[in-house]
């Protein structure tokens, strides 16, 4: 088993200590952080599939998520180190939409944006669509990012878009809506 496989296994097992140690070994091996995150994301997807097949249950999914979060925190310095370009690029407001507490993907996006020179305002998770747009107006954001991981919460992304496109609203912001299966680029009037 490769060191990267060991890391993915430790995260899937929810073994925080082993996962953080294994992440350091993989970084020391010279594996690019992007490759590492892609492997971990596949591991989390597999966890989701096992959960859907009822082979594992919520506690296991939660411990895997905790291990993934711990690894991301440990990897942050390496990600910043591997960033090549840090010119100021713009302001992003990002949140996970109302009713949704999945934040790991959003947090990865934040790190990626920050290391590439964006100023990011993270509103956390379970955030109302109108609050997201209001915050974007308040900080004069160039981009809004709205994350949703569940079919039940994806309509909230549409709400953000509709508010952006609504009459008298901040209809001039581009909006990236994020989910593994449904990236969409939205034009400056909020249309997909």
Q: Is 47 helix (H, G, I), strand (E, B) or coil?
A: helix
Q: Which is nearer to ligand B12, 106 or 121 (CB)?
A: 106
Between the alpha carbon of residue 109 and those of residues 2, 72, 106, 145, the distances in Å are 26, 11, 5, 9
* Options 61, 83, 91, 137; binder of ligand B12; rule CB under 6 A: 61
Applying CB under 6 A, among 25, 130, 150, 192 the residue interacting with ligand B12 is 150
Contact between 102 and ligand B12 per CB under 6 A: yes
Closest approach of ligand B12 to the CB of residue 167, in Å? 25
Whole-number Cα distances in Å, 111 to 37, 114, 163 = 12, 5, 27
> Is the C-alpha dihedral spanning 78, 79, 84, 88 positive or negative?
negative
- For residue 7, state whether it binds ligand B12 (rule: CB under 6 A): no
- Give the DSSP letter of residue 97: B
Q: Is 103 in the site for ligand B12 (CB under 6 A)?
A: yes
* Residues 112-141 as x/- pattern, contact with ligand B12 by CB under 6 A: ------------------------------
Tally Cβ neighbours within 10 Å of residue 8: 24
* Segment contacting ligand B12 by CB under 6 A, of 5-13, 14-22, 159-167, 176-184: 176-184
Interaction of residue 174 with ligand B12, rule CB under 6 A: no
Cβ-contact 104, 72 below 8 angstroms: yes
User: CB under 8 Å to 15, separation ≥6 — which residues?
Assistant: 67
Q: In the complex, which residues of this chain contact ligand B12 (CB under 6 A)? A: 41, 44-45, 47-49, 51-52, 58, 61-62, 65, 94, 99-106, 108-109, 145, 147, 149-152, 176, 178-180
């Amino acid at each position: 088993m490769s060191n990267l496989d060991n890391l993915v296994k430790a995260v899937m097992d929810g073994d925080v200590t082993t996962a953080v140690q294994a992440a350091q070994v993989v970084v020391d091996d010279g594996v690019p952080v992007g490759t590492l995150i892609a492997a971990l994301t596949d591991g989390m997807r597999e966890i989701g599939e096992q959960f859907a097949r009822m082979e594992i249950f919520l506690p296991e999914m939660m411990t895997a998520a905790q291990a993934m979060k711990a690894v991301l925190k440990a990897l942050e310095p390496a990600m910043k180190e591997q960033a090549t370009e840090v010119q100021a690029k713009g302001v992003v407001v990002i949140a996970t939409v109302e009713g949704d507490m999945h934040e790991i993907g959003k947090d990865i996006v934040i790190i990626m944006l920050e290391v590439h020179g964006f100023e990011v305002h993270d509103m956390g998770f379970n955030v109302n669509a109108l609050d997201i747009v209001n915050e974007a107006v308040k900080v004069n954001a160039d981009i809004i990012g709205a994350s949703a991981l569940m079919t039940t919460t994806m309509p909230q992304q549409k709400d953000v878009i509709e508010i952006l496109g609504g009459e008298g609203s901040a209809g001039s912001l581009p909006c990236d809506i994020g989910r593994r299966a449904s990236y969409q680029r939205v034009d400056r009037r909020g249309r997909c």
